[in-house]
């Protein structure tokens, strides 16, 4: 059994293309065409696999899109454990406007899961034997799935002695954190929601993260802050990473690349500081790829030496 298992309750087939200019009414003819398996946990698994990690992706599949998703995951060399839904797996659509470089992201809602369908996902995870050392929950919850879905996964992981790592948002994140999570990777928006108020500068973000760790609700917080860099907070230290100087091609997949690299290195026994440095490089590497390609290991290796960390 894999060291790392990711679970993606609302996966997607990600379709991406580029057009010269986006205008209304006219036919916009794409100049490229790409399909990738998508959804937070699947993306994390793709990155872990590229970095040589032992990973299995858990996710629901429904209809012809679900069959295509499974094939795309197989093509990435990632092992899958799936369960079936009556409604079709969703598709998402990404368009890069060449004239401005601006990305446009169209995220569809996906299927509604019945009680028996989302419970099948929990049962699939709980029945794994041997159980993985790391469980990663990532992505939005589909319709019909209760807000405490990830909190239930945290309970399963805790009972089996595994570390649970979470990247989600809104009520699903709040519900899981209320019960305790080993590591969370919020964005600025998600951290502001957890803190329950406006956070005006980098110092305020750090204070909020420290408070959440001190409360015992999150063992570690890896806060990705875009142009402000990234922050890693544990009970005994804070690491600050400056953003790398680069011209981004694309913003899609940076967070998933960051988390996949972090988990891969932690599972390999790399010290936390080095794992964080590698994760920052992976997030930056994703900015150099078009569409939903995610990071390239060669770019990570090239960028990691440029990552500057400060210890608080």
The per-residue pLDDT for range 234-244, each reduced to its tens digit, is: 999 999 999 88
> What does the pLDDT average to over 118-132?
97
pLDDT digits 0-9 by tens, 255-301: 999 999 999 999 999 999 999 999 999 999 999 887 788 999 999 99
| For residue 197, pLDDT beyond 80 | no
**Calpha distance 167→123 (Å, rounded):** 21
| For residue 174, pLDDT beyond 70 | yes
Sheet architecture: strand order including 12-19: 34-38, 12-19, 90-97, 103-106
Global model pTM greater than 0.85: yes
Query: Which of 151-165, 196-210, 222-236 is predicted least confidently?
Result: 196-210
Categorize the per-residue pLDDT at 46 as very low, low, confident or very high, splitting at 50, 70 and 90: very high
Q: Which residues are catalytic?
A: 256
Structural domain span for residue 257: 4-22+29-311
CB atoms inside a 10 Å sphere around CB 268: 14
Q: Tokens for 19?
A: 């057009």
Q: Give the total number of structural domains in the chain.
A: 1
Mean pLDDT of the chain: 93
| For residue 1, pLDDT beyond 70 | no
pLDDT value for 101:
84
| For residue 2, pLDDT beyond 80 | no
| For residue 11, pLDDT beyond 90 | yes
Query: In this structure, what CATH number is given to the domain that contains residue 304?
Result: 3.40.1190.20
245 Cβ contact list (under 8 Å, min separation 6): none
**Calpha distance 136→183 (Å, rounded):** 9
pLDDT value for 42:
98
pLDDT value for 293:
85
Higher pLDDT, 44 or 196: 44
Tokens 């690349």 belong to residue = 257
pLDDT value for 14:
95
8 Cβ contact list (under 8 Å, min separation 6): 39, 40, 41, 42, 57, 58, 59, 138, 139
């Amino acid at each position: 059994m894999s060291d790392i298992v990711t679970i993606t309750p609302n996966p997607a087939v990600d379709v991406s293309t580029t057009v010269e200019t986006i205008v209304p009414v006219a036919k916009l003819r794409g100049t490229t065409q790409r399909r990738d398996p998508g959804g937070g946990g699947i993306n994390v698994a793709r990155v872990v696999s590229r970095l040589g990690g032992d990973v299995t992706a858990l996710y629901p599949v429904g209809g012809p899109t679900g069959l295509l998703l499974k094939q795309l995951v197989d093509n990435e060399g990632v092992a899958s454990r799936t369960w079936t839904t009556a409604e079709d797996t969703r598709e998402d659509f990404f368009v890069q406007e060449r004239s401005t470089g601006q990305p446009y992201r169209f995220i569809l809602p996906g299927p509604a899961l019945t009680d028996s369908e989302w419970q099948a996902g929990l049962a699939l995870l709980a029945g794994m034997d041997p159980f993985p050392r790391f469980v990663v929950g990532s992505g939005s919850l589909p319709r019909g799935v209760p807000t405490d879905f990830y909190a239930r996964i945290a309970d399963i992981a805790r009972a089996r002695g595994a570390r649970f790592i979470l990247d989600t948002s809104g009520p699903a994140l709040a519900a899981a954190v209320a019960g305790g999570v080993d590591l969370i990777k919020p964005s600025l928006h998600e951290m502001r929601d957890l803190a329950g108020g406006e956070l005006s500068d980098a110092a305020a973000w750090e204070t909020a993260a420290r408070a959440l760790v001190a409360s015992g609700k999150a063992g570690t917080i890896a806060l990705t802050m875009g142009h402000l860099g990234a922050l890693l907070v544990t009970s005994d230290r804070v690491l600050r990473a400056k953003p790398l100087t680069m011209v981004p091609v694309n913003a899609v997949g940076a967070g998933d690349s960051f988390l996949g690299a972090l988990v891969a290195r932690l599972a390999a026994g790399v010290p936390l500081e080095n794992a964080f440095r590698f994760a920052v490089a992976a997030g930056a590497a994703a900015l150099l790829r078009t569409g939903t390609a995610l990071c390239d290991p060669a770019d990570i290796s090239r960028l990691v030496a440029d990552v500057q960390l400060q210890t608080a």
